[in-house]
Each structure stands twice: as C-alpha cells, then as structure tokens.
Amino acid sequence: MVFPYMEAVVGFMILMYVFETYLDVRQHTALKLPTLPKTLEGVIGQEKFEKSRAYSLDKSHFHFFHEFVTILMDSAILFFGLLPWFWKKSGEFVTFVGLNAENEILHTLAFLAGVMIWSQITDLPFSLYSTFVIEARHGFNKQTIWLFFRDMIKGICLSVIIGPPIVAAIIVIVQKGGPYLAIYLWGFMFALSLVMMTLYPVLIAPLFNKFTPLPEGGLRKKIENLASSLKFPLKKLFVVDGSTRSSHSNAYMYGFFKNKRIVLYDTLIQQCKNDEEIVAVIAHELGHWKLNHTVYSFVAVQILTFLQFGGYTLVRNSTDLFRSFGFDTQPVLIGLIIFQHTVIPLQHLVSFGLNLVSRSFEFQADAFAKNLGYASQLRSGLVKLQEENLSAMNTDPWYSAYHYSHPPLVERLAALDKSDKKAE
C-alpha cells in the first residue's frame, strides 16, 4: 500500500492552522486587556497604550482573515491537484512559444513565472489593505500608491534577473550531482548566500532606499567611540530614509570581517531625541557581534540547509512521493517543493528552537549593553521604540514563546531589573 503523502501533508497543514489559530485567539484575548501589564505601569503612557491596543487588534483581525484565506488556497492547490495541472500547462506554454518543453530548465522557469504572477495577484489585495488601510489608519504608512507599485515592479524585475541563473544552476547540480549531491547543493547555496550578503546592501538595497553617511556631530562621534572601544571594524555609518515608506524604526549592521557597516533608520533618530538612547540600541547590536551571535546563527542555518538537502536526496527519486501529489514525472523543482511540504512538521520544530535561541541572544545582548554602562539608556530606548512602533504591550506567553524571536518588552525590562538587583 502506497503511503498517502499528499493527504498527510494537507492534514498536517490544517492541524497546524488549527493550533496556530488557537494561539492567535489567546493573543487576541491578551490584546483586548484594558490595562497595562504591571511592569509597564508608569512607564508607558495611557494614550500610547490605547493606540498600541487599537493597532494590535486591527492587525490581529486582519491576520485571522488572511490566514483563513491562505490555508483554504494552499490546501485546495494540493488537494485538487492544481500543482501538477499547472506544471503541465506551463510545459504547453513553452511549446506554444516555440521552445523545447523537454528542456527542464525552460519548463521550470515558465512554471515559476506563472507561480510568481499568481502569488502577486493573490497577495496584492492583502498588501494594499495592510499598507494603505491598517498602517495608514494608525499613522505609519508614508508611501504613495505609486511608490508601492514601483517597489513591487522593482522586486519582480530583480526576481526575473536573479532567479533564472539560480534555478538553472540548482537543476544542473541535481541532474549531475550523483552521490555527493547534498554537498554540492549546500556548497552552491553557501556561496550564493555569501554573494547575496555582499551584493544586497551595495547593489540591491539602494534601489529601494537612499543611504547617506551619518552627518558629523555628537551622535556619530559617540557611535564611533563605542565601536572603537569594542574593536568593532566600523567602516561606514549610514542613515537610511525609512520614513519615505513607514514611520516604524530600526537599526542594523552588516558586512564581513574588517568591513562592517551600521545603518540607522532616520525614524529612529527622529524618535529618540536623546543620542544616548540610540547609542544604547547600537550597543545592543554590537553585543550580538561581540558575542558571536551572528556567526552562530549563520552556522546553524548552514547546518540546517545541509541536513535539508541530505533529506531531499533520500526522497528525490521516490516515484510514490511524486505520484501522491499527482505527478507522473519527477522534475527537480517540484521535488524540492514536495520535500519542503513533507518536512513541515520538522520545520515548525526547528523554527520554535531557533526562536528560543534568538530570545536567549537578545537577553545576552541587552546584558552586554548594560555592562557597558547603558542600562538606563537602553531601558528608555526600548520603551521609546515600543511606544513609537505601537508594539503590543500585553502578550500571551504561549503565543510569544511560539512566534517571537525577540522577547516582549515586559520580559526584557524584567531581565534588566533582575540583573540590577543581583548587582546590589
């Protein structure tokens, strides 16, 4: 008897939808609470709390609807055999335009083009509503409809330029990989990730945002002094015009070896009137670097990628697996898609584990900044970011444990206070 892979995958998808909806309901209930958590009383203003509550509930209602539509579409696509039907139609299209449908690379690119068009069409109403209704209603959206579509078109163009060579390379590697296929696939993806990490901030990110050097002054001097004291090889310090799209704020760093860069959102600078708060946030980010969190995370991703490719090589020639999903041939890309669906249970477990590690790293980076003498500034900076981004003040512990890669503000402040008490 052939194992019903497709039915099992759809069943698990629905089971996970039910479980995650239960967590969403718990979170929605927490968001409806009319009072602040005791830890935040006197720290967060009542007006900001009410705005945060309204924003979070709006997003929560939208999330319920979006997830319901998504699970309906995804389940229907698999259950009613739309994937093999579309694969067949994409082959007919290749023939129609006068190309060879037997060429798996051409067939796959036609299939992916159709999938991209479908995803753009189905995602567009949700993106528009999220950006121009929810984000605009709560004062975050700053982009025009023209800028929205310009970004979307740029993204599509980048996919058309970057995607085909990558897809072609993967297909060739699988076709010729032999017994060392997993190693070759991992090696290719490892090299690709290094190339993209190098090129993205230099060539791709500037297509969407303007990066300008942080002007000379007190803030720049303080950040440079902090970096120097930690022997952080800071080469460039940028401000990005995040305010052209949203009033949400952020900061990040990137770069390899001795060529590090720090990027501040202009909204972060506007919201944190005190330079020391910004420097404390940067101290937290530098804590991730000093404690090797970025390296650990990168290595973990590489190990997981290799294990995934290893698993794929075990099932890529399984006729029963392909037939269960309605395919009478075994295309490389389809095999990868099917494999990803069959390991969904493991992916959820891995994601949960990575979130646990990520939250631990966040606490360690907070402690690092505190040990540098930025405890009060980090505390006020975190509160300011929470207020200005209208982040959820009340969170359900089960929901945050499952979904959050960063601890809620309540937990971060409690950890800082706890370390204060230990020091006394």
What residues are labeled active site? Answer: 285, 366
CA distance 357 to 143: 35
Percent helix, strand and coil across the chain, each to the nearest 5 = 75, 5, 20
Nearest-angstrom CA–CA distance, 408 and 387:
13
- DSSP H helix total and E strand total for the chain: 18, 4
Q: Please state, in angstroms and rounded to a whole number, the distance separating the CA atoms of residues 319 and 329.
A: 8
- Runs of H (alpha helix) within 80-135: 82-96, 104-129
DSSP labels for 288-323?
HHHTTHHHHHHHHHHHHHHHHHHHHHHHTT-HHHHH
CA distance linking residue 73 with residue 334, whole number of Å: 18
Q: Distance between CA 316 and CA 171 in Å, rounded? A: 12
Q: Beta strands 260-265 and 234-240: pairing type?
A: parallel
The secondary structure of residue 214, as a DSSP letter, is P
Angle subtended at Cα 341 by Cα 154 and Cα 195, rounded to the nearest 5 degrees: 40
Pairwise CA distance, residues 238 & 260, whole Å? 11
Give the angle subtended at the CA of 204 by the CAs of 201 and 208, to the nearest 5°: 105
The tokens for 50 are 């009410």
Rounded to the nearest 10°, the torsion over CA 400, 401, 405, 411 is 70
In 3-state terms, what secondary structure has residue 153? helix
